[in-house]
C-alpha cells in the first residue's frame, strides 16, 4: 500500500492562541516527536487530515510528512476531535526508523466463512476480538490478522495461538492464549452422542 503524504507547514509559535489561529486558517495543528530528535510543531491541511482520520485505520498506518521540503516518515499516535462538531483539533505523530517498535491494534479478517463446517450447520460466528493489539516493527505493521474458519465447527474456539502472525509481530497479551472468536451453536442444538450420526435419533 502506498504511503499517504501530507504537505505540512512548520509552526513557529505554540500555545492555545496560536493553535486557534491555525484552525481559523483551515489547518490542523500537529507535532512530530520521537527518534531522539527535537519535536517539530507543524500544521496540516484540514480536508486531507479529516479524510485520513475518517477512512479508518489512521493510527496503524505509516505516513510521510513533507515539512518544507524535508520528508519525515511517521505513524499517528493520537488525535483529538472537537467534542461537538467532530472535526480534527490536533494530531501527534511519532517518527519511525528501521529499529522503531510500536504497539498497535490490528484488524482481524475472517476467511472461508462459506466453507466453515460450523456455520454451514447453522452455527453463528461470535467475534470476541475485532482487532488484536500487537507489538511489531513500525516499518512492517500487518494490514490485518487472518483467521481461517475452513475447519471450525460448532463449539470451537479460535485462540491466538492458532493464528499465524508475521515475523516480528507478537501479541501484547502474553499471559494467556486468548480467544479471538467462537462458533456458537444454534438455538435448540444438541450435540450428537458419541457414535451417533447427526440427525439420527438415538436408539432407545
pLDDT tens for residues 131-167? 999 999 998 899 899 999 999 999 999 999 999 999 9
Burial zone of 13 (CB within 10 Å; 0-12 exposed, 13-18 middle, 19+ buried): exposed
Model pLDDT for residues 44-66, shown as the tens digit of each residue: 999 999 999 998 889 988 999 99
- CA–CA–CA angle 20, 21, 24 (5° rounding): 90
Are 132 and 165 a contacting pair, CB within 8 Å? no
Banded model confidence at residue 5, pLDDT cuts 50, 70, 90: very high
Model pLDDT for residues 91-140, shown as the tens digit of each residue: 999 999 888 999 999 999 999 999 999 999 999 999 999 999 999 999 88
- b/e per residue 118-143 (b: at least 16 CB within 10 A): bbeeebebeeebeebebebbbbebbe
Secondary structure tally for the chain: helices H, strands E = 3, 13
Banded model confidence at residue 38, pLDDT cuts 50, 70, 90: very high
pTM beyond cutoff 0.85: no
All structural domains of the chain, each given as residue ranges with its CATH number in brackets, are 4-97 (2.40.240.10), 102-184 (2.170.120.20)
CA–CA gap between residue 167 and residue 45 (Å, rounded) = 36
Handedness of CA 32, 34, 35, 38 (dihedral sign): positive
Amino acid at each position: 500500500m502506498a504511503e499517504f503524504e501530507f504537505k505540512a507547514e512548520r509552526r513557529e509559535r505554540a500555545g492555545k492562541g496560536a493553535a486557534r489561529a491555525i484552525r481559523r486558517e483551515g489547518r490542523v495543528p500537529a507535532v512530530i516527536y520521537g527518534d531522539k530528535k527535537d519535536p517539530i510543531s507543524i500544521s496540516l491541511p484540514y480536508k486531507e487530515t479529516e479524510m485520513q482520520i475518517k477512512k479508518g485505520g489512521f493510527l496503524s498506518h505509516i505516513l510521510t510528512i513533507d515539512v518544507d521540503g524535508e520528508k519525515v516518515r511517521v505513524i499517528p499516535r493520537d488525535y483529538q476531535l472537537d467534542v461537538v462538531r467532530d472535526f480534527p483539533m490536533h494530531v501527534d505523530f511519532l517518527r519511525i526508523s528501521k529499529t522503531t517498535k510500536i504497539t498497535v491494534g490490528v484488524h482481524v479478517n475472517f476467511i472461508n466463512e462459506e466453507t466453515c463446517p460450523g456455520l454451514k450447520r447453522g452455527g453463528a460466528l461470535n467475534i470476541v476480538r475485532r482487532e488484536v493489539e500487537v507489538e511489531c516493527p513500525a516499518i512492517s505493521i500487518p494490514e490485518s490478522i487472518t483467521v481461517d474458519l475452513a475447519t471450525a465447527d460448532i463449539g470451537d474456539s479460535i485462540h491466538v495461538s492458532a493464528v499465524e502472525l508475521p515475523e516480528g509481530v507478537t501479541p501484547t497479551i502474553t499471559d494467556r492464549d486468548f480467544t479471538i472468536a467462537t462458533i456458537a451453536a444454534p438455538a435448540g442444538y444438541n450435540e450428537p452422542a458419541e457414535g451417533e450420526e447427526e440427525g439420527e435419533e438415538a436408539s432407545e
